[in-house]
Amino acid sequence: MTDTYLNLVNSGFTKKIAQQLGLPRPAVLRRFRPGQPLLDGPVLVLGSGADADTVARILSGTSRAAAGTAGTDGVIDPASTIPGWDLDVRRDPAAGDRYAGVVLVLTEVAHPDDLAEPVLALGSVLKALPAHARIVTISRPATADEGPATAAARQGVDSILRSVAKELRAGATGNGVVVADGVPVTAPSVLGGLRFFLSTRSAFVDGQLLDVDTDGGALPLDWERPLDGRVAVVTGAARGIGAAIAATLARDGATVVTVDVPAAGEQLAAVANRVRGTALQLDVTAPDAGTRILEHALARHGRLDIVVHNAGIVRDKLLANMTPDRWGSIIAVNIAAQLRINEQLLTSGDFTNEPRIVALASTSGIAGNRGQTNYAASKGGVIGMVRATAPLLTAFGGTANAVAPGFIETDMTAKIPPVTRQVARRLNSLQQGGQPIDVAETVAFLASPQAGGIVGHVLRVCGQNLVGQ
C-alpha cells in the first residue's frame, strides 16, 4: 500500500509547499541493502568506564572477548579475538562534527547525578545529526537489588531514551540495549543488538528497549548471512508479512519452508520458488500441524532450526457485538495453533539444535484496541506464550521471542477507511506506516545466532507508536 502523503511531501513542488505550510514531513526511511556500510559517517561513543572503552574498541578495531575464530557451524567464539567493525569512532563531541550514530554506554551509572554529563553531551550534538542517524543506549536493568539510587538512575536511562527518540527527525531513531547484571557488554546479543539498532535493518524500530538476559548465542562469521546452514519454517507465508519474512530469512542464508493454507497454494508456490525453498500446504489449526511441519523439514532438508509463527487472522467487532465464532476462530488460529505446534516440536527430540521460535504479536496485544478484544487476547497470548516457552529451550541453546508490529502497510490495513488509515500512519514518532520488510528484518534478527541471549521478550516494530509503550 502506497503512502501518497509521504511521497508528496518528499518530492518536488509539493515538498516546498509542505515546508511553507509547516505540514508534517515524514522521511522516506532508508532500509537495508546488502553490501551497504553499517554507518555513513563517524559514531560518537559517550560514557566513561571500562564498558564504554570496550564498546569503542569493538566499533573501531580489533578487540578481545568480542568474537573471533569461526567454528564449523559458521559462528564465532565470543571468547576469542576478531576484527572490530571498522567504524570511525569519536569519544568526545567536537563542534562541527556530524555523527551518523551515537552510542551512550551507561552500564556503570550508580546515581541520577551520573546521567547529566553523558546525556547533555548527547543533547549538544542532536541538532547536527544527519538524516537517518542512530542513537543507541547500553544500560543495566533497574532492580531493587542494586539499591534505590542505582535503580533510579537505570530507570532514568530507559525514560531518557524513549523521550529522545520522540525528539528525533528525518528518519533518525533511538533504541536501547538493556544488559542483565553479570552479562558483559561483549556478549553476542549485546553486540548483535547494538549492530541491529545501528543498521538500516531497524528502520521502523524506534524508542524500544531490547533486554539481553544471558551471554548465550554467538556472533556470525558473516554479518550479512548469519543464517547460513539453518532451516526455517514460516507460517502464513503466501503473501504480505509472511512472504517478506521468508524472503529475508533466505537472503540471510536460511533454507526456508513456506507454509500456508491450501487455498493459497498458487501464491505459496510462487514464494517458495522465489526464495528457493519448499512449500507445504497446511492449515496450522490441524491437530498434527507441528508433526507435519517437522516431518516435511526433516524429509526435504534434514533438520529444523527456526519456526516463525506468522499465520494470523482478524475478525474485528466491538465486544458488545462479538459472536462465539468470531472469538473462537481468532483464538484457534492466532494462539492455540502456535501452542500445539510448539508442544509437538518440543516433545519430538528433533528441535534441539539451538532452536529459535519467533512469533508475531501486535501492539494491540500490548495496548489493546477498540473493536479487537478477540485479536488483542490472542496477541497478548502470544506474548505470554514466548515468555513461558523460552525457558523450555534454554537447555538446547534456544530461544523464543515475539515481534509486535504496529501499523504496517499490508492488504489488511489497506481495507481501513482512508481517514482512519491516515491518522494511524501518523501516530508514531516516524509519522508513517511500516513495511512488511521492517517486520521481517526484526524476525530475522531474533532468529539469528547473535540473539541467543534474548530470552522470552517482545520487540516492537511500530515507529514508536504513541499509544502503549
Q: Which residues are catalytic?
A: 375
* Cell digits of residue 223: 554479518
DSSP 108-170: T--SGGGGHHHHHHHHTTGGGPPTT-EEEEEE----GGG-HHHHHHHHHHHHHHHHHHHH--T
Closest CA to 304 of 293, 317, 320: 293
Helices 289-301 and 337-346, packing angle to 10 deg: 50
Helix (H, G, I), strand (E, B) or coil at 387: helix
* Cell digits of residue 441: 528484518
Name residues whose C-beta falls within 8 Å of residue 22's C-beta, 6 or more positions apart in sequence: none
Which string of b and e fits 151-162 if b means at least 16 CB within 10 Å?
bbbbebbbebbb
Which string of b and e fits 71-106 if b means at least 16 CB within 10 Å?
eeebbbebeeebebbebebbeebeeeeebbbbbbbb
* Beta bridge pairs of residue 317: 372
Q: Which residue has the cell 509519522?
A: 431
Q: Which residue has the cell 551512550?
A: 104
Cβ–Cβ under 8 Å, residues 115 and 160 = yes
* Beta bridge pairs of residue 138: 105, 177
- Specify burial of residue 248 (Cβ count, 10 A radius: 0-12, 13-18, 19+): buried
Helices 265-274 and 240-251, packing angle to 10 deg: 20
Q: Which residue has the cell 525528539?
A: 167
Q: How far apart are alpha carbons 437 and 33 in whole angstroms?
A: 11
Q: How far apart are alpha carbons 351 and 322 in whole angstroms?
A: 38
Cβ–Cβ under 8 Å, residues 449 and 70 = no
C-alpha angle 365-214-86 in degrees, rounded to nearest 5? 100
Q: Which residue has the cell 511553507?
A: 20
Q: How far apart are alpha carbons 64 and 78 in whole angstroms?
A: 9
